[in-house]
Amino acid sequence: MIKFHPSERLLRGFAAGDLSSGINLAVATHVEYCQCCSETVAAIEDELAFDLCKLDDEIQSPFEDMLTSILSASDETAVLTKDTFTTDKRESFVLIDGKKFKLPRTVQRKMERQEGQNWRNLAGIHSSALGDFDEYRASLIYIEPGVQVPMHKHKSIEMTVVLAGSLSDEQGVYKPGDFIVLDNNIEHSPKTQQSQCCLCLTVMDAPIQFTQGMSRLLNPIAHLLF
């Protein structure tokens, strides 16, 4: 059961198309997993559509003309449009540490732009960049079973969506679909159980900062690791 969800503000921004592409990726991935938030987004979209219909005639008139033109299009045009815009239902997987994981459609579309997936491994913590999205960087993070990420904080915002497996930190236990938001006020040390790995999507706008022990020596190159 999914216990951690985006705020209503984020869901409204997602429904309205107002989020930056990085945050939009994180929220869209959660919505793909979460039936509750999917229904909430659909309700918000209906609400926004109703508000749009109440606009004055000056704004509605061009829209109505366009709608009439579409509905009166010839059969030939309609067929062409239908054939041109198709849904790709192929499934995509990622293979890491001898394990195969099915990816959500939101991540599949980002990976299709890349020729291959390159992973960096630091003591059982694997990372693979999906790319930059506005001011955010998105990555896949895979944590092997029985591994603990050193204590760290975030210079700004990090959003994480668990895709498979589970992990825990000082705030709770996270399962597939859970949406985690952390800022620079929170230090944590996420870990996996001995028998459980974790694959997740992370979206952040600044590198993490290790805060304890020898791991602090990695701070100058943290942007290369995560």
What are the tens digits of pLDDT across the range 154-207?
Answer: 777 899 999 999 999 988 999 999 999 998 788 888 999 999 999 999 999 877
What does CATH list as the number for 8-84? 1.10.10
Please tell me the predicted confidence (pLDDT) of residue 217: 67
pLDDT category, 85, cuts 50, 70, 90? very low
* Nearest CA among 101, 94, 133, 136 for reference residue 117: 94
For residue 156, what are the CA distances in angstroms to 188, 203, 212? Answer: 14, 11, 18
Report the DSSP pairing between strands 136-143 and 198-204.
antiparallel
Task: Return d(Cα 192, Cα 168) in angstroms, integer.
Answer: 7
Task: Return d(Cα 148, Cα 125) in angstroms, integer.
Answer: 9
Helix, strand, coil distribution of the chain in percent, nearest 5: 40, 30, 35
Partners of 63 in the beta sheet? none
Domain 93-225 in CATH: superfamily?
A: Jelly Rolls (2.60.120.10)
Asked if the model's pLDDT at residue 115 lies above 80, the reply is: no
Please tell me the predicted confidence (pLDDT) of residue 212: 74
* Nearest CA among 95, 222, 224 for reference residue 164: 95
The residue that leads in pLDDT, 61 or 130, is 130
CA atoms within 13 A on the CB side of 221: 7
Query: Are the beta carbons of 34 and 2 closer than 8 angstroms?
Result: yes
How does the average pLDDT of the chain come out, rounded?
A: 82
Query: In Å, how far from its chain's centre is CA 5?
Result: 12
128-147 tens-digit pLDDT = 989 889 889 999 999 999 99
* Nearest CA among 151, 148, 142, 149 for reference residue 197: 142
Q: Is 93-225 in the same CATH topology as 8-84? A: no
119: Cβ contacts below 8 Å, ≥ 6 apart: 96, 126, 127, 128, 142
What are the domain boundaries of the chain? 8-84, 93-225
For residue 144, what are the CA distances in angstroms to 22, 119, 198? Answer: 25, 13, 7
DSSP 3-state of 7 = coil
pLDDT category, 36, cuts 50, 70, 90? very high
Q: How many other C-beta atoms lie within 10 A of the C-beta of residue 186?
A: 14
Residue 80, token pair as written in the block: 């062409």
The residue that leads in pLDDT, 56 or 134, is 134
Asked if the model's pLDDT at residue 123 lies above 80, the reply is: yes
Which DSSP helix (H) or strand (E) runs through 44?
helix 35-53
